[in-house]
Amino acid sequence: MTRFLTYQFNLMLLAVSFFTRLPVPAAIDYSPRKLHQAGRYFPLIGWLLAALLSAFYCFMLPQLGITPTVCLLIVISLILTGAIHEDGLADTADGFWGGQTIARKLAIMKDSQIGTYGTCALICALLTKFVLLSSLAADQHLLLALGIAYPLSRGLAISHVQHLPYARQNSDNSKSRPFAQPMQPRVLLWLFASSVPAVLWLPLSSAILVLVSACVLRFALKYWFKKHISGYTGDCLGFAQQVQELLIYLLLIVTLPKTVNEQTIGFLL
C-alpha cells in the first residue's frame, strides 16, 4: 500500500509540474509513461488551483472590493498556470482560422508568435472571464463557480485523448505527446469522479444543465478538432479547457439565484 501511494503521489507531482508553475521536489521521477498516467490527476490540479484562488479571493475581498479582487484573481491564475491553457486557446485560434491545410494549421499552432486570431481570442476570453466572474462574485457564487469550473473543465479537456488521435504524428518531442494514448476505463471513471463533486452543491436542475451542456460542448469540440486537424494537440486541450470554463460560468449565472444588494453594488462601484 505504501508503495502504491508513493507512486500515485509521484504522478500527482508530475501533474503539478506539467500543468502549473508551482514548485515540486527536484527528485520527482519522470518518464513519458508516468506523465501519461499523471493525466488522471488533471481535475485535481483544478481543485488545487481553485483552493489557492479561493483563499486569495477571501483574503483580498475585504481590502479591495469585488472588481479589483477579481481582476487580480485572474492575474494570479495566469501566473499559477503559466498561462498554459490561454496559450493553447490563442494557438488553436491562429491555426484553425489562419491555415488552409492540416499541415499549415499545425505549423501555425507550433509557431511561438501570436497572430490576429489568437490575440482576438485571448482578449475576448480574458475579458469575458472577468465579466462573468465579477457577476458571480456580486451574487456571492464565485467560490462555488471556481470549485465547479476548474476541475470539470480540465477533466473534460483531457478526456479528448480518449477518442481523438494525436495530430502531430512525427513530433516525438512535443510536450503533450505522452498523453496521446487512450485511458483505461477505471481511469476514466476516476477522472469523472474527481471532476464533478462540487456540482452536487447545485440544485438538481442546475447540475443537470451544467453537465449536459458541458458534454454537448465537449462533443462539439471533438467534431471541430477532427474537422480541422483530424485529431488533437496540446493546444486543442488548452482551447477546450478555456471554453468549457467560460461556458460553466455563464450557465451558473443563468441558473443560480441573484443575491445582489446595496452593499454588493457598492463593492462593484
Cell reading at 191: 477522472
The secondary structure of residue 111, as a DSSP letter, is -
| pLDDT by 10s per residue, the chain, length 269 | 788 888 888 989 999 998 999 998 887 888 888 888 888 899 999 999 999 999 999 999 999 999 999 999 999 999 999 999 999 999 999 999 999 999 999 999 998 899 999 999 999 999 999 999 999 999 999 999 999 999 999 999 999 988 889 988 765 566 666 766 777 888 888 888 999 999 999 999 999 999 999 999 999 999 999 999 999 999 999 999 999 999 999 999 999 988 755 444 454 44
Does this model's pTM top 0.95? My answer is: no
SS3 category, 256: coil
Distance CA 242, CA 19 (A): 14
- 32 membership: H or E segment, kind and range: helix 32-38
Determine the length of the chain: 269
* CB-facing half-sphere around the CA of 195: CA atoms within 13 A: 27
Q: Where do the structural domains in the chain lie, given as residue ranges?
A: 39-268
- 143 contacts 61 by C-beta, under 8 angstroms: no
- 231 contacts 167 by C-beta, under 8 angstroms: yes
SS3 category, 14: helix
